Amino acid sequence: MIMEIVGIIILFAAVRMLLAQDRTERMVYLNVIGFGMSALIALYIQTSFGAIIAITYFVMSTLSSNAIAYSIGRVKDEIILDE
């Protein structure tokens, strides 16, 4: 039951990411997808190797979310020149 709920949240975030107009909003939904995938890996593969894979994916998702947060900060400082 929990896997289905996490899967629905990931699908909802993917659809929202495709429909989002703002780059910052897309990055936030991408972050949700990354953390949701690590949860699905941990729930689906219920062995010690599955735990290692889930932990590795979670660490990489954390690094990704830090990059996303940095990019959001850079987008706010971005100057847009209209031609």
Q: What pLDDT sits at residue 11?
A: 95
Query: What is the Cα–Cα distance from 50 to 27, expressed in whole angstroms?
Result: 27
Instruction: Give the other-Cβ count within 10 Å of 34's Cβ.
Output: 20
82: Cα separation from own chain's centroid: 31
Q: Check residue 7 and give its pLDDT.
A: 92
The mean pLDDT values, 10 residues at a time, for the chain of 83 residues are: 91 93 82 86 86 86 82 71 61
pTM beyond 0.85: the answer is: no
Q: Compute and round to an integer the Cα radius of gyration of the chain.
A: 16
